Amino acid sequence: MRAIAALLFAGMVGGCGGAEVNDAHANASGELAAFQVEPGLWEVASAVVAARGRNLPLQVRNRLVGPRPTRRYCLTPVQAARPMADLIAGRRGCVYRDLMLDGERLTGMMGCPEPGAPGPTMARLDGNYGRTSYDLRMEMTSPMPDGTPLTLEVRTRGRRLGACGEGERR
């Protein structure tokens, strides 16, 4: 269940080629410069629209599918310069592959470590991405404790609301 809970972050499938980009060094190297967003107050809403897994009980599937609590983040200029880690994944240590931004169409792969899980969570990303909003579909796959894959289809929407107010979470 820990792997399932880890999947429910905003913001994972299979072998892909191309160069890897680790969010820890991407900010310094400028590799994710095209993905910068405007700093300020952001609202992120997500929902699991489908859940699949071999022998996945119906009750578990039904608990997984549905909206997640909407979150708000106050992004500093430093965080806005590397939103893939802070805004999209909701955590650090992720590796990105084959990221492409064609106009406002974002496609690519993301893999994030899962403490205590038998392997990383992998996501295929596809959607619209801009400096003040994004709307992404992610197909996320993570190994369950018995090693079988659990796949979730997640839709995540983020939008900049404006400047950060006093006491906003950073």
Gap between the Cα atoms of 143 and 22, Å rounded: 21
Q: Mean pLDDT in the chain?
A: 77
Confidence class of residue 80 from pLDDT cuts 50, 70 and 90? confident
Question: At residue 100, does pLDDT exceed 50?
Answer: yes
Gap between the Cα atoms of 107 and 86, Å rounded: 18
pTM, full prediction: 0.74
Question: At residue 67, does pLDDT exceed 50?
Answer: yes
pLDDT attached to residue 53: 93
Q: Which residues, 6 or more positions from 98, have their beta carbon under 8 angstroms from its beta carbon?
A: 16, 17, 18, 107, 108, 109
E strand or H helix that includes residue 80 = helix 77-80
Question: At residue 48, does pLDDT exceed 60?
Answer: yes
Whether the Cβ atoms of residue 41 and residue 160 lie closer than 8 Å to each other: yes
Nearest to 50 by CA among 154, 137, 136: 154
Q: Name which residue leads in pLDDT, 23 or 79.
A: 79
pLDDT attached to residue 133: 95
pLDDT attached to residue 28: 34
Give tens-digit pLDDT for 109-119.
Answer: 988 887 777 77
E strand or H helix that includes residue 61 = helix 58-64
